[in-house]
A and B are shown apart, each in its own frame.
Chain A
Amino acid sequence: MIVLSINGQDTQVDVPEDMPLLWVLRDVLGLNGTKFGCGMAQCGACTVHLDGQAVRSCVLPVTGAVGKKITTIEGLNATDLGKRVQQAWLGIEVAQCGYCQTGQIMSAAALLAAKPTPTDADIDAAMSGNICRCGTYVRIRAAIKQAATGQLTLPQTIA
């Protein structure tokens, strides 16, 4: 049995040691917000936090997550920062198909936790590992700045 701390809860799983965390989350625990995109840390769709750091769960063997705090998109709104990022994403209306966006949001939240007012270069460095095929990059950059400063960066949608 492997014990994982996921979104503040200890969870036991009986899985092979080399099984990537992504598939433990999705196929064993039913936490489907974390997405499969490439299987080789090229696209970032599977991004989760490990002790606050953004990691690609598709290449992280589950044993590598033992003893660390795992946060997935399902647990992100437990923090004010997480909520702020999600609100900025909605205000600017970043998502199109939305498939990559949970990974984008996890990468963005980890960036903002480490650097509350990131520069464009910081955003480039933190976000270039997350692919979006719908091409929402312009809005991702704006949403990160909006979440950081609270100042509106692009026209907002009407809820």
Chain B
Amino acid sequence: MTLRVDNQLELPNPQRRELIKRGGLVVAFMWLGGASRVWGYTQGARLDADHPQFAPNAFVRVNTDGSVQLVMPCIEMGQGAYTGQATLLAEELDVGLDQITVEHAPPNRKLYSNPLLGDQATGGSTTIRFCWTTLRDAGAAARAMLVTAAAQRWKVDPSQCTAARGVVTHTASGRTLRYGELANEAAKVTPPAKPTLKDPKDFQLIGKPLRRVDTPAKVDGTLPFGIDIRVPGMKVATVQACPTFGGTLASVDETRALAIPGVLKVVKLDNAVAVIGEHFWAAKKGLEALTIHWNKGAGAGYSTEQLYKDLADASEHGTPIMGREVGQVDKVQGKLISATYQLPLLAHATMEPINTTVHVRPDGCDIWVGTQVPARCVDVAMKVTGLPAESIQVHNQYMGGGFGRRLFEDSVGQAVAVARAVDYPVKIIWTREEDITQDRYRPAYYDRISATLDDKGHPIAWTDRTTGPSILATFAPGAMGKNGLDSDLVECAAELPYQIPNMRVDWVRHDMPNGIPIGWWRGVGPTHNVFVVESFVDELAHAAGKDPMAYRREILADNPRAKAVLELAAEKSGWGRESVPARHGRGIALAAPFGSYLCVITDVEVSPQGEVILKRAVAVVDCGTVINPNTVVAQIEGGVIFGWSGAMYSGITLKDGAVVQRNFNDYRVLRLNQTPPIEVYLMPSKETPGGIGETGTVMAMPSLANAIFAATGVRLRSLPIDRSALVQDKNALKSVLSAANPASSTPDGVAGQTGIFT
């Protein structure tokens, strides 16, 4: 198996190459058995009852009626994955996107595992990197078989035939046959050993802004998400788990709940209670009517303050695991600059709250859920029901956002446990409050970083110690690196686009205590590390008395792709060309996450009261070959907004062992009225595609923090933004009401949290 991570930051040193290849989520999952790339395109399966006449591999099905179904190995959660995958298949199959339908792949590790993740999983911005060759191969093999079938019927050589839009043409005679007419015969053709792929100059679909395959049904409300599932006889449940992590259910008085019309049953689990009703409203009222006593567990007194204290203590006294060491950091003399950064727990808050529909029978179990890990859902259902894998059907669904949340099947296991208590199908829907307070949180981190500068102010030594837990160690313990390294903790910290001769980047593992559930969050390791690194590079520029753009140019390694995005961003943003008004600022972030290269520049204004007003962003992206430019731009726009949201407002805090935030009023996210224009520029490239879905998020946070520094001189070393630190002076607060955030006056009376009051 070869990893298709084309990272130009690689240097000739083989150890460093290895490190990059093992970077982050990609690498992490390799150890799960990713080497077994067993679903070659000749090992297709006829997948379901409609018996397609031509199913040459796991991804393509052509029926005699001419319909074409494409089976999607990676799931759609908004990132455009179905359109991207369908484009790769359709390009080589020579059909139009308007001629196909797409289907969710069923759980089947043999057929649909993503070798970059070592499991049937979607994440880590790997979909296009995984599918780039695989799906073009699959499409090309199917096309070759259809063309051969036509040629056989005409008794001509296949090379005399062409295909376009689902029709094979014999060039000389002008005879044509539709794919549907060829399906039965194509099924008997031997698949090519190595299908011929198109020359990129002949691409008809790749590179064009084609309409997404899923959006027509998303604008008329007909597309079913997991939460929209209705099966005959189904009831609806909602659930509350112990608010303090690690706690258990002690007792519950269900008398009042059962008296509510429509409430059917109360189901007790080890650490949760569910109420089943005729509809969600009955279930919710029933849940609210319960009197629940919890055994709060060992974490009942835990707080955010304690969490950061513990992280700081671990950073000082824990045993670091080496991420990367170059040169001799300790022997370098010069001006030492040091800083400490800390990052908060974050919730995913997907728009579609967590939900699962389950029907458990004595001989089987059906599960309808939108999940990033369908095969792991089978695993957890086996564990809960004791049924064998072949008796468990997982019907994957479109997802109302994922962002990493649906990489975890905890909620599916819980739903199966609830459904086991009854003989009818149950749809379990979490309230938003449950969604926020029982998430798998992006962990908190505590990083100490330092650099020694030479007389030009350039870093000649660099140390970065990250401290935080390993998500991988909880998700797949067997996948940890040999020395105990989870490379997610040093991804985009160990490899920088800058020339620094002496570096030591290490990690102290400090697991979140007391059962605080953790998970990957959009941008994974890079969202954490690029914030720290790019903020600190700005600190170094300031220490050197240099413009942040000029400083990055000076210290940049020989790295043409990184340089190109930096220079174009400078040009498009108008960097240095105009004077900036007081309390306005412009901030840069430059990095190469997920095999792509980005420079994002954010412009802000900071009010005298400390409110941050986003003014503009310029994003320059080199993600190699672009499959769909519209999708790439959308992912950058949305990714940047997701990152800004996190930096501006989001942050999960703990009090008495429980999460304080409960809904969008106190776990705030960016709204339309706070969103400025975002300009995205794509670099033309013929390189292998890089990842894109998480990159904008990675870049947004440091470019924002750097812009705030430029506007105010205040360096933010923790998130979310502390507006009280940005207040110009005491007098400014007297006029605070007139400067309050517009969100505070939305039609629904959204609570305005300018931060300086709270």
Q: Which residues of A contact B678 (CB under 8 A)?
A: 138
Q: Does A116 contact B (CB under 8 A)?
A: no
Contact of A23 among B279, B431, B750 (CB under 8 A): B279
Contact of A136 among B208, B280, B638 (CB under 8 A): B638
Interface centre among A35, A44, A45, A97 (most CB of B within 10 A): A97
Q: Which residues of A contact B281 (CB under 8 A)?
A: 15-16, 19-20, 23, 27
- Tally of contact residues, A, Cβ under 8 A: 67
CB-CB nearest in chain B for A83: B220
Q: Does A65 contact B (CB under 8 A)?
A: no
Q: Does A39 contact B (CB under 8 A)?
A: yes
Q: Are B664 and A33 in contact (CB under 8 A)?
A: no
Q: Are A33 and B665 in contact (CB under 8 A)?
A: no
Contact of B630 among A77, A97, A155 (CB under 8 A): A155
Hey, which bits of chain B sit against chain A, CB under 8 A?
A: 77-80, 98, 208-212, 214-216, 218-225, 227-228, 230, 236, 261-262, 278-282, 284, 349-353, 398-403, 429, 431-433, 630, 634, 637-642, 645, 663-665, 669-675, 677-678, 742-743, 746-748, 750
Assuming A131-B671, A138-B637, is B352 touching A97 (CB within 8 A)?
yes
Q: Does A158 contact B (CB under 8 A)?
A: yes
A sample of 5 more A-B contacts (CB under 8 A), given A33-B222, A39-B663, A97-B351, is A96-B638, A97-B77, A101-B219, A128-B743, A128-B747
Q: Does A66 contact B (CB under 8 A)?
A: no
Q: Which residues of B contact A131 (CB under 8 A)?
A: 351, 664, 669, 671
Q: Which residues of B contact A123 (CB under 8 A)?
A: 672
Smallest Cβ distance from A131 to chain B, in angstroms? 6
Q: Which residues of A contact B401 (CB under 8 A)?
A: 97, 99, 133-134
14 A-B residue pairs with Cβ-Cβ distance under 8 Å, sorted by A, are A16-B282, A23-B280, A27-B280, A35-B227, A37-B432, A38-B432, A44-B748, A97-B352, A97-B402, A124-B673, A133-B351, A134-B642, A135-B637, A136-B634
Q: Mark A111-153, 1 if CB is under 8 A from B, else 0.
A: 0000000000001111111111111111111000000000000
Q: Mark A23-51, 1 if CB is under 8 A from B, else 0.
A: 10011101011111111111111000000
Contact of B78 among A35, A42, A134, A141 (CB under 8 A): A134
CB-CB nearest in chain A for B399: A97
Tell me the dominant secondary structure on chain A's binding face.
loop
Q: Are A33 and B211 in contact (CB under 8 A)?
A: no
Smallest Cβ distance from A42 to chain B, in angstroms? 4
A137 to B353, CA, bound (A): 20
Q: Which residues of A contact B227 (CB under 8 A)?
A: 35-36
Contact of B638 among A105, A134, A158 (CB under 8 A): A134
Q: Are B638 and A128 in contact (CB under 8 A)?
A: no
Smallest Cβ distance from A58 to chain B, in angstroms? 10
Q: Does A79 contact B (CB under 8 A)?
A: no
A112 to B80, CA, bound (A): 28
Q: Which residues of B contact A128 (CB under 8 A)?
A: 671-674, 742-743, 746-747, 750
CB-CB nearest in chain B for A136: B638
Q: Are B746 and A129 in contact (CB under 8 A)?
A: yes
Q: Which residues of A contact B218 (CB under 8 A)?
A: 95, 98, 101-102
A34 to B219, CA, bound (A): 11
Q: Which residues of A contact B280 (CB under 8 A)?
A: 23, 26-27, 36
Q: Are B215 and A73 in contact (CB under 8 A)?
A: no
Interface centre among A16, A36, A136 (most CB of B within 10 A): A36
